[in-house]
Amino acid sequence: MKVHILNGLTINTRWPLHWQTGQVCLLVETRRGLILVDTGLGLDDYAHPTAIINLFRLVMKMPFDPNQAVTNQLSRLGFIPQDVRHIVLTHLHFDHSGGLPDFPWARVHVHAREYHDCLEGRYRRWADGGYNRRVLVHQPDLALYEKIDTTWYGFDAIRLPFKQEMYLVPLFGHTLGHCGVAIKRPQGWYFLVGDAASFTEKVPGALLRFVVGPHHARLRVFQVAHPEVCLLTGHMPLEFFVEQPSL
């Protein structure tokens, strides 16, 4: 079993500091095909960018390169798009789910609360502006989860229905149905916490809580206590991707 770490979207922030970041997408090889965790932007986002994507391009200096669409990265790894059988999402913000329409045959696994909040289309919190409902227009085959059925390292967790041990770990806050995704590997665990934590502490605490929600500090404590778990935030410095042997 191998897990590839892909950069699904480069974003360069200018405030509060200058950072070059990539968006973490995990590609899990299994005997029954590939499981993709978060998608980055999709081909339609590059062809017909929405207002929020254009705003990000302006503010975040995104290179906006369609080669970063995961579907365009697969051949480099020896796969074709049809190999992606399942997609697991931390949340449905446009930068984490824009690639869904590129894999219309894939089963989409997401927390029920996240799906319904996105679909409802109500604007109650700033984070609701990050949803792009066109990623669901193709009516994907959905597996929705809500019931906590186990724990993982003390976190409430939901076991995903794969032979590989994988869990959805509810980390509500950034969005109301946001989850982390834990994946067991022979070398230890990957724990992709999406936008529930930042890769850096160099952000004022109040801003951090506003943007990523209430779990950042707890997740950082967890990371130090469990070095056998590789904690990944949804956006990581670009250097991180260069260091990955699978890239």
Q: Least Å distance between CB 33 and Zn ion?
A: 27
- Ranges within 13-32 binding Zn ion (CB under 5 A): none
Nearer to Zn ion, 74 or 111 (CB): 111
Of the two residues 91 and 109, which places its CB atom closer to Zn ion in the complex?
A: 91
Compose the 183-202 pattern: x for residues touching Zn ion by CB under 5 A, - for all others: ------------x-------
Q: Verify binding: residue 117, Zn ion, rule CB under 5 A.
A: no
Q: Does 44 bind Zn ion (CB under 5 A)?
A: no
Residue 93 interacts with Zn ion (CB under 5 A): yes or no: yes
**Residue 215 found at the interface with Zn ion (CB under 5 A):** no
Residue whose CB is less far from Zn ion, 93 or 109: 93
Q: Which H, E and C letters describe the chain, residue by residue?
A: CCEEEEEEEEEEECCCCCEEEEEEEEEEEECCEEEEECCCCCHHHHHCCCHHHHHHHHHHCCCCCHHHCHHHHCHHHCCCHHHEEEEECCCCEHHHHCCHHHCCCCEEEEEHHHHHHHHHCCCCCHHHHHECHHHHCCCCEEEEECCCCEEECCEEEEECCCCCCEEEEECCCCCCCCEEEEEEECCEEEEECHHHCCCCCCCCHHHHHHHHCCCHHHHHHHHHHCCCEEEECCEEEHHHHHCCCCC
Closest residue to Zn ion: CB criterion: 93
Residue 130 C-beta: closest distance to Zn ion, Å: 5
Residues that bind Zn ion (CB under 5 A): 93, 195
